[in-house]
Structure 1
Amino acid sequence: GPGVFINPRKLVEEISELKRQGIDVSPANYGIDARAHVTLDYHVRDDAFSFEVQKGKAGHESTGNGVKQTARDKVMRVGIRFGEWLQADCMFEIMHEKGLVSLLSGSTGTGESAEQTIRTLVHSYDSEREILKPFVVQDHDIYAKHGKDGRLSEGAQGALLDLDVGQYPGTTSSNPLLVPGYPDQRVGVIKLYTSSVGIAERPFVARMHPSLESSLVEAWGERGVTTGRDRKLGWLDLVALRYTIQAARVTHLVGSCGDRLDTLFSKNEKIGVVVGYNVDDKLYDQWDVSFHNRFVLRKAKPVIEWFEPWQQFHKDGILTDESQRFVDFVQDRIGMEFHAIGVGPGDQDELVLREFRD
């Protein structure tokens, strides 16, 4: 859709890799909206510098992939959209007209005129244009044709990373909560604990003790997909979850990673659920308007309900007594039932608790 940022060089690599694995990627099953903004080399260069500067810090604000810089240009109305990028002359005119040559320092070498510097960058994408040109679409055309016949549309991940709804300024630069198509159901998928790879400006009230966290990162494979950095881990946060359900207009709830909590049995560690926040000796069990002040949640301390660990989350597809108590507690507190819970990485590793079409 138009909210996506496209890095042509990376996308071509990904498509080639999928095809190498025997996966069909063609205009019949994949499209790129003409209005999606393009991440260019100078966006990546600038973000990579920020990423390097942040190394070694407690948290980070960037993945080094140019997302923030692409979003900046989009909002400043000096960005280039995919439909424009596909036409080399159009891309050149935009960059020339908007005076974007100043952004190209170090991208294409030295000793060139401003005009030639732009042309060098523009034509460095010629091979990617040839590959990606057949994929251009308008997403509203797709949904007008297919969007009301039982299709599944997936948005991005991370409600609290949403630029408008999330924990600003510790958010991404786009809107993961935008759901494409004509949804009659909104399925929210949550882990039964919390994880986050970038918490530089995002308070992590539910974070577990660092010693336990560090012992679980490897066992649970909790590393950022983009950055490769260890994620920070915390307990399931019902204050944030209720807010997310309401803000995202979730109608159906799915849990995941129930099986991972089995690990805590062997460590003789109880399982926590954050049921409230203590801010300056005042207790909150709902997301308060004051939490949109970035300094308030930095002072919040978690109020935690503890559960005995279980040896198995389920047995033969049925929740064990201990995990059932955990699930019942969560459902009662948030006022919504799980329709399914994931219990492993496989396609069939799912406990379906109730039908989605109810």
Structure 2
Amino acid sequence: MPVKIVLGSQWGDEGKGKLVDILCASASMCCRAAGGNNAGHTIVANGITYDFHILPSGLINPSCTLNLIGAGCVVHLPSFFKELGALEEKGLQNVHQRVKISDRAQVCLDLHCAVDGISEEILRSKDGDKAMIGTTKKGIGPCYSDKVGRRGVTMGMFMSENGQWEKRIRTLHQGYLGTYGTDALSQYDIEAEVSRLKQFRDELVQGNYILDATPLLSRTIGSNGKAKQADTQFGDAPDDTNGVPKADEEDSALFSNVLIEGANALLLDIDHGTYPYVTSSNTGLGGVFTGLAGLSPLTLGHPDSSIIGVVKAYTTRVGSGPFPTELNTSIPHVSAEDAHAGDELQRIGREFGVTTGRKRRCGWLDLVLVKYSCQVNCYTHLNFTKLDVLDSFAEIKIAMSYKNRRDGSEIKGFPSDLDLIENEHLEIVYKTMPGWKTETTGTREWEQLPQEAKEYIEFVEAEVGVPIKWIGTGPRREDMIVR
């Protein structure tokens, strides 16, 4: 049974949602493995713009019958239900019936959101804006911290009849009061949150949203990567302890093609990103298999399986942290001409964060970064997005390597030592290529691209050593070249 995994290759905002939307046309299951509503995927279909955060983007396609939020995710229930309601208002069908949450996912609290903001403010007050991580303040980091500290609340705990979830949340609150003080948390109301959570719990029960996902994934795709035969009905038998439905094999047989939707991107991975300016989960290939236990790595041996890296035709970043190719007048050694190019990338590309609305930092395509991403995530194919944003540029630059500005020595690979890639210490070796100065927006055939655009794509493809199968040429679902 084929499995397709779509992962962000840079710092996020590459345009993963659009490819997921296209691939979901042939997928019966779409899964999120990690992260929370700090993710932001925009899809334009039939003239309507949809924004996805915690929900899998497969909900946009009625044929995608199950959209699973996996065990590696953290779920802020007010946002979960609000997002479902917004999709329903835009005309998407059966969204409540087509989404499930793993009973091992963590509950992200309003308390976590409050603490997230407090933590960022402490960093800012001590060392200024540059010291801030630049989080979305959605509570993701504190929630994962409590998960790792074994203080959190899983969905399974939350659904249990023993009521221990409330005690754990109150204990969390007392701990944060001890850390930050009552004044810092004065705007947070523990009683109001507990009351809301009880209402959400009732909705989860009534809607049958929570399930034991591991048997579903294991039965859908066996250890040898082949679908197993089915003989019973999904969801009929309750779990022995928490009343969480078990996944049975008949329903599993319905899932003939599984799509995994990555959130955030590799350079924001807690282990492999630009730490500490990262998110709090494993956003790369490794996080897929920990967040979706039961999914065998052997499935990737299927001839139709693939690991797809989504690469924007230039580079953007939201929030703090190093950004070697950033084009901004505040960056040392950036010329006025290049700074203007950065402004144009931001303007033409409409580079604003889907989740936060913050203006994205922009720069030229960084192949050092992309090659590193390829090494970590083992991509079999790439999706090259937003090519049309480059249409008006007479020249386009590509970062080929890094040098230490102080002694001229080459910096090998993409270093974990962030001091080496701080802009004032770094010299970028660029290759300059001619632009095409021709509109490509809406182009759907490779042959219709200008020769210079083809050469730009082929150069990137040759340098990274991974075939570019999809090329995005606009915001609409149809604006995609498939090679």
**Which category of TM-score, normalised to the shorter sequence, fits these structures?**
0.7 to 0.9
What is the match of residue 434 of structure 2?
308
Identity over the aligned pairs, expressed in percent?
Answer: 28
CA distance in 2, matches of 1:99, 1:345: 43
What is the match of residue 316 of structure 2?
195
Q: Bigger CA drift: 176-185 or 323-332?
A: 176-185
Is this contact kept in 2: 1:254–1:340, CA < 8 A?
A: yes
1:323 to 426, 437, 453: 453
1:91 to 155, 161, 165: 165
What is the match of residue 409 of structure 2?
282
| 1:29 and 2:98 aligned | yes
Task: Give how far 1:249 is off.
Answer: 1.6
Aligned to 2:347, what secondary structure does the other structure show? Answer: helix
CA distance in 1, matches of 2:214, 2:159: 20
Task: Give how far 1:119 is off.
Answer: 5.8
Q: How does 1:160-239 map to 2 (within 5 A)?
A: 160-177=267-284, 178-179=287-288, 180=292, 181-182=295-296, 183-184=299-300, 185-198=306-319, 200=320, 202-208=321-327, 209-239=338-368
Task: Give how far 1:118 is off.
Answer: 5.9
2:136 to 63, 73, 96: 63
C-alpha distance 25-301 of structure 1, shift in aligned 2 (>3 A): farther
Q: How does 1:46-57 map to 2 (within 5 A)?
A: 46-50=115-119, 57=129
CA distance in 2, matches of 1:190, 1:157: 12
Task: Give how far 1:327 is off.
Answer: 1.2
- Look up the equivalent residue of 1:78 and give its one-letter code: R
CA distance in 2, matches of 1:227, 1:274: 28
Is this contact kept in 2: 1:50–1:64, CA < 8 A?
A: no
Task: Give how far 1:294 is off.
Answer: 2.6
- Look up the equivalent residue of 2:81 and give its one-letter code: V
Tell me the alpha carbon deviations over residues 53-86 of structure 1, each in whole angstroms, 9 at most, x when there is no partner.
Answer: 7599357521111111111111111111122223
CA distance in 1, matches of 2:309, 2:172: 43
C-alpha distance 130-25 of structure 1, shift in aligned 2 (>3 A): farther
Unmatched 5+ residue regions in structure 1? Answer: 111-116, 354-358
TM-score w.r.t. length of structure 2: 0.64
C-alpha distance 224-316 of structure 1, shift in aligned 2 (>3 A): closer
RMSD: 2.6
Task: Give how far 1:306 is off.
Answer: 0.7
Unmatched 5+ residue regions in structure 2? Answer: 1-69, 222-226, 228-255, 301-305, 328-337
Task: Give how far 1:324 is off.
Answer: 1.3
TM-score w.r.t. length of structure 1: 0.85
Task: Give how far 1:26 is off.
Answer: 4.8
What is the match of residue 383 of structure 2?
254
Is this contact kept in 2: 1:108–1:121, CA < 8 A?
A: no
- Look up the equivalent residue of 2:137 and give its one-letter code: G
Task: Give how far 1:253 is off.
Answer: 1.2
**What is the number of equivalent residue pairs in this alignment?**
337
What is the match of residue 123 of structure 1?
195
Q: Bigger CA drift: 319-328 or 118-127?
A: 118-127
Q: How does 1:66-145 map to 2 (within 5 A)?
A: 66-87=139-160, 89-95=163-169, 98=171, 100-103=173-176, 105=182, 121-133=193-205, 134-145=208-219
- Look up the equivalent residue of 1:144 and give its one-letter code: S
Tell me the alpha carbon deviations over residues 81-119 of structure 1, each in whole angstroms, 9 at most, x when there is no partner.
Answer: 1222234712123245x4642436476889xxxxxx866
Task: Give how far 1:250 is off.
Answer: 1.1
| 1:345 and 2:440 aligned | no
C-alpha distance 74-297 of structure 1, shift in aligned 2 (>3 A): same
C-alpha distance 49-25 of structure 1, shift in aligned 2 (>3 A): farther
What is the match of residue 462 of structure 2?
332
2:418 to 294, 298, 301: 294
